[in-house]
A and B are shown apart, each in its own frame.
Chain A
Amino acid sequence: MAVVELTGVTKKFGDVLAVDAVNLAIEDGEFMVFVGPSGCGKSTTLRMVAGLEDTTAGTIKIGDRDVTELQPKDRNVAMVFQNYALYAHKNVYQNLGFGLHVRGTPKAEIDERVRRAATMLGIDDLLDRKPKQLSGGQKQRVALGRALVRDPDVFLLDEPLSNLDAKMRVRMREEIAKLHAATRSSMIYVTHDQIEAMTLGDRIAVMLDGRVQQVGPPLELYDRPANAFVASFIGSPEMNMVDGELIQKGKVASFACEGFSVAVSAQMRSLATAGQKVTAGIRPEHLTFATSAKTGFTAEVELVEQMGAQTLLLCKAGLAPLRALVDRDDKVRNGDRVRLQAVPANVHLFDPGSGASLLSD
């Protein structure tokens, strides 16, 4: 059963179309991530689910209830905000219990649920503190706890880790994942960070300009991006995009541009005609050093970035700039000429006009 169902959900701010007819179903217990650059409408969509923004058109259902016109308080959702949004005049205990308190839950039950959530999040020794006495990570735990005690139909998390430093972000990310595994609650999580999206989501909805570009499990988005935007947004470092055309030499079809050519898969070949203009997408981690002098193509290394286990090469193959993420290589230097190759299955082809993947036709 879908816990949250968005049908044609649209939001306009004046003449600006912020969210454009979004259709999406979040399943029971699913961790759904909305990801996209700032201004893509992901937060607005989440706020419409929470009831903090009115919808211009479309309906939102939570469970069997149409909540489109309901007040936030009547939707039984819990939300975690980017800036924590803790009640500064209340201590941690009161912050956690506030939602239950205003709903008239008996004191004994509030106490039990607050303490259970606090233990779960490891903040049981902070219950008497005021928010200003907490660190960023502790504040975010309290904000999570405040959502947790409520036992809502769905958790909404609006960029909850953006204000934390890099280390704390990774730790909290793991904790959120564990929390989801432990509670199996439905969650909608908004982020602009594709790594958060990949690591946390059961499914990811990639958004751009108010539209959902693609919805699917993280690896499906990584392996079979629906368009050039999804392809370059998901994955780090960003996918290489090169304009060129499809050529046919005997049985082998390949993508060619000024500087290099790579073979494409038979499936890709079947979707395009020889001579067709295409954009090729190759992930940096799919470019490797060629196994022999006969395979692959030559590229000139312009910059070497050592990352520890891997080495990132910024090269130029002819006019085309390429990034290659190869296994650690201590010898490669700026100005070296290297031979790179990519297996055909890892070469994605997109329509240069619409950006759509040839596979999606």
Chain B
Amino acid sequence: MNKLTLGQRSALYGLVCVTVVYSFFPIYWMIISSFRDDNSLYANFSLLPGPFTLTNYEVLLELTDYPTWFVNSILVAFGTVCITLVMSVLIAYSVTRLQFRGKMAVVGVMLYAYMFPPLLLAIPLFSLFVKLGLADTRLSLMISHCTITLPLGVWLLWGFFKQIPLDVEEAAMVDGCSRLRAFVLVVLPLTLPGVLTVAIFSFLLSWTDYTFALVMIGTDSLKTLPAGLDTMVGMYELRWGELMAGSTLIALPLLVMFMFLSRYFIHGLSAGALKG
């Protein structure tokens, strides 16, 4: 690659800075707002952090259902991750390795479903859940989330499995493994970055979903965080302090996850999507 001139380099850095500020300012604002009292929130606000108070967090955790929503969110997200992982690994593996009629149609249809906006799927799904007696349950929300996470998971893992040479699996089978054991002992460890990517992605989608949560869950005690926070936006009252504290707490697990797993995430995305 050619060396950039000083001017080009400065322009590039400038562009990067603008992008970073543009993306991070709302997050920054959310965090510092969550630590402010009403006075500095609505009146004398400044761009710099402070003054500090934990009142918003105390109110949020003691006077609202926030802890319940948090548990609900965790349960739904983990459920979604588990269902997605088991199903997408099995589907992606069969689509790559086995010969059967309509194989490509399976992948095609799944990707097609992925293109629908969630709201379009949510309403027919809800009426389906009502008929099945699953309406207003956490399970219904997990299943709804899988309509997005599963196609994505299959698509990503499909790329990963295609990269694993068939030889390696056959070598394991000749070495004494059944197909399943060869898969668990040899194929799965080799696709670990892909599996982790799918897990992170599913968690992310489920954790931050608002649309499905709003449609599927009516009972307050079953709501997940984004839908729960929404109930705090009253008709006559907007409690920004608590809202910001709630949002900060939603973002916290994502931040931690990214810190530890971003390497896999980025590798997984590029390997699965581009090389596949």
Chain A positions within 8 Å of B, measured between CB atoms, are: 50-52, 71-73, 75, 77-79, 81-89, 98-99, 102-103, 146, 150, 156
| A87-B168, A88-B190 known; A72-B174 Cβ under 8 A | yes
Which residues in window 157-211 of B have CB below 8 A to A?
Answer: 165, 167-168, 170-178, 181, 185-186, 189-190
Counting chain B CB atoms within 10 Å of each CB, the highest count among A72, A81, A89, A103 belongs to A72
29 contacts between A and B (CB under 8 A): A50-B174, A51-B173, A51-B174, A52-B170, A52-B173, A52-B174, A72-B170, A72-B173, A72-B174, A73-B173, A73-B174, A73-B177, A73-B178, A78-B174, A79-B170, A81-B167, A81-B171, A82-B167, A83-B167, A84-B167, A85-B165, A85-B168, A85-B171, A86-B168, A87-B190, A89-B190, A99-B175, A102-B172, A102-B175
Q: What 6 additional pairs, Cβ within 8 angstroms, besides A73-B177, A85-B165?
A: A52-B174, A73-B174, A81-B167, A85-B170, A88-B190, A102-B176
What's the nearest-Cβ distance from chain B to residue A160, in Å? 12
What's the nearest-Cβ distance from chain A to residue B271, in Å? 14
| Interface SS, B side | helix
Hey, which chain B residues are within 8 Å of A87, CB to CB? 168, 171-172, 186, 190
What's the nearest-Cβ distance from chain B to residue A113, in Å? 14
Hey, which chain B residues are within 8 Å of A146, CB to CB? 171, 175
Counting chain A CB atoms within 10 Å of each CB, the highest count among B167, B172, B174, B181 belongs to B174
Chain B positions within 8 Å of A, measured between CB atoms, are: 165, 167-168, 170-178, 181, 185-186, 189-190
Find out whether the CB atom of B181 lies under 8 angstroms from the CB atom of A102. Answer: yes
What's the nearest-Cβ distance from chain B to residue A73, in Å? 5
Counting chain B CB atoms within 10 Å of each CB, the highest count among A73, A89, A146 belongs to A73
Distance in angstroms between the alpha carbons of A99 and B168 in the assembled complex: 13
Distance in angstroms between the alpha carbons of A265 and B186 in the assembled complex: 60
Distance in angstroms between the alpha carbons of A351 and B175 in the assembled complex: 47
Hey, which chain A residues are within 8 Å of B167, CB to CB? 81-85
What's the nearest-Cβ distance from chain A to residue B191, in Å? 10
Find out whether the CB atom of B175 lies under 8 angstroms from the CB atom of A150. Answer: yes
Nearest-neighbor residue (CB-CB) of A84 within chain B? B167
Q: How many A-B residue pairs have CB under 8 A?
A: 63
| A81-B167, A83-B165, A87-B168 known; A102-B185 Cβ under 8 A | yes
When A and B form their complex, which 5 residue pairs have the shortest distance between CB atoms, in order from nearest?
A: A85-B167, A99-B175, A85-B171, A72-B173, A102-B176
| A85-B167, A87-B168 known; A98-B175 Cβ under 8 A | yes
What's the nearest-Cβ distance from chain B to residue A71, in Å? 7
Hey, which chain A residues are within 8 Å of B189, CB to CB? 89
Distance in angstroms between the alpha carbons of A228 and B120 in the assembled complex: 70
| A89-B189, A89-B190 known; A99-B165 Cβ under 8 A | no
What's the nearest-Cβ distance from chain A to residue B187, in Å? 10
What's the nearest-Cβ distance from chain B to residue A352, in Å? 42
| A85-B165, A85-B170, A87-B172 known; A102-B186 Cβ under 8 A | no
What's the nearest-Cβ distance from chain A to residue B170, in Å? 5
Distance in angstroms between the alpha carbons of A99 and B170 in the assembled complex: 12
What's the nearest-Cβ distance from chain A to residue B172, in Å? 7
Hey, which chain B residues are within 8 Å of A88, CB to CB? 168, 190
Hey, which chain B residues are within 8 Å of A85, CB to CB? 165, 167-168, 170-171
Distance in angstroms between the alpha carbons of A79 and B174 in the assembled complex: 7
Nearest-neighbor residue (CB-CB) of A52 within chain B? B170
Distance in angstroms between the alpha carbons of A89 and B187 in the assembled complex: 10
What's the nearest-Cβ distance from chain B to residue A109, in Å? 15
Hey, which chain B residues are within 8 Å of A81, CB to CB? 167, 170-171
Hey, which chain B residues are within 8 Å of A75, CB to CB? 174
Nearest-neighbor residue (CB-CB) of B165 within chain A? A83
Hey, which chain A residues are within 8 Å of B178, CB to CB? 71, 73
What's the nearest-Cβ distance from chain A to residue B174, in Å? 5
Nearest-neighbor residue (CB-CB) of A158 within chain B? B167
What's the nearest-Cβ distance from chain B to residue A45, in Å? 15
Hey, which chain A residues are within 8 Å of B173, CB to CB? 51-52, 71-73
Nearest-neighbor residue (CB-CB) of B175 within chain A? A99
Hey, which chain A residues are within 8 Å of B175, CB to CB? 73, 78, 98-99, 102, 146, 150
Nearest-neighbor residue (CB-CB) of B169 within chain A? A85
Distance in angstroms between the alpha carbons of A104 and B151 in the assembled complex: 39
Hey, which chain A residues are within 8 Å of B174, CB to CB? 50-52, 72-73, 75, 77-79, 156
Hey, which chain B residues are within 8 Å of A51, CB to CB? 173-174
Hey, which chain B residues are within 8 Å of A84, CB to CB? 167
What's the nearest-Cβ distance from chain B to residue A130, in Å? 12
